[in-house]
Amino acid sequence: NAGVMQNPRHLVRRRGQEARLRCSPMKGHSHVYWYRQLPEEGLKFMVYLQKENIIDESGMPKERFSAEFPKEGPSILRIQQVVRGDSAAYFCASSPGIGTLNTEAFFGQGTRLTVV
């Protein structure tokens, strides 16, 4: 049973370009969470999605960031017109659904975005 798969592992973008980060949850998991980790900091919650629905986007910047989790395919975190301050590690976690314990949620290995 494959774990949470994130790709790419490393992504380099020039300022002004778009970054697309993908997350395939564990088999049987229908809920996805995205977190951002700046260098030498803890993870910060960004958005919580289930298939075709955004449940909580209270941690998402108001502009340039969007997330989706379509009926088919991976969850996508999209950052438009990237700036240097977007450079960070972006982690995805998945869980079976509401009411399940934290012990049933797992993190991917992350995508490290570098904006040059």
Partner 1 sequence: GQQLNQSPQSMFIQEGEDVSMNCTSSSIFNTWLWYKQDPGEGPVLLIALYKAGELTSNGRLTAQFGITRKDSFLNISASIPSDVGIYFCAGDNYGGATNKLIFGTGTLLAVQP
109 binding partner 1? (CB under 8 A): yes
41 binding partner 1? (CB under 8 A): yes
36 binding partner 1? (CB under 8 A): no
42 binding partner 1? (CB under 8 A): yes
How far is it, in rounded angstroms, from Cα 34 to Cα 96?
15
Instruction: Work out which of 19, 21, 26, 110 binds partner 1, going by CB under 8 A.
Output: 110
- In the complex, minimum distance from the CB of residue 106 to partner 1, in angstroms, rounded to a whole number: 8
Closest to 52 measured CA to CA, from 19, 28, 76 = 76
3-state secondary structure of 10: strand
- In the complex, minimum distance from the CB of residue 26 to partner 1, in angstroms, rounded to a whole number: 12
49-108 binders of partner 1 (CB under 8 A): 55-56, 91, 93, 95, 98-103, 105-108
Strands (E), the chain: 5-7, 10-13, 19-24, 31-37, 43-50, 53-56, 65-68, 75-79, 88-95, 106-107, 111-115
3-state secondary structure of 104: helix
Interface ranges with partner 1 (CB under 8 A): 4, 31, 33, 35, 40-45, 48, 55-56, 91, 93, 95, 98-103, 105-110
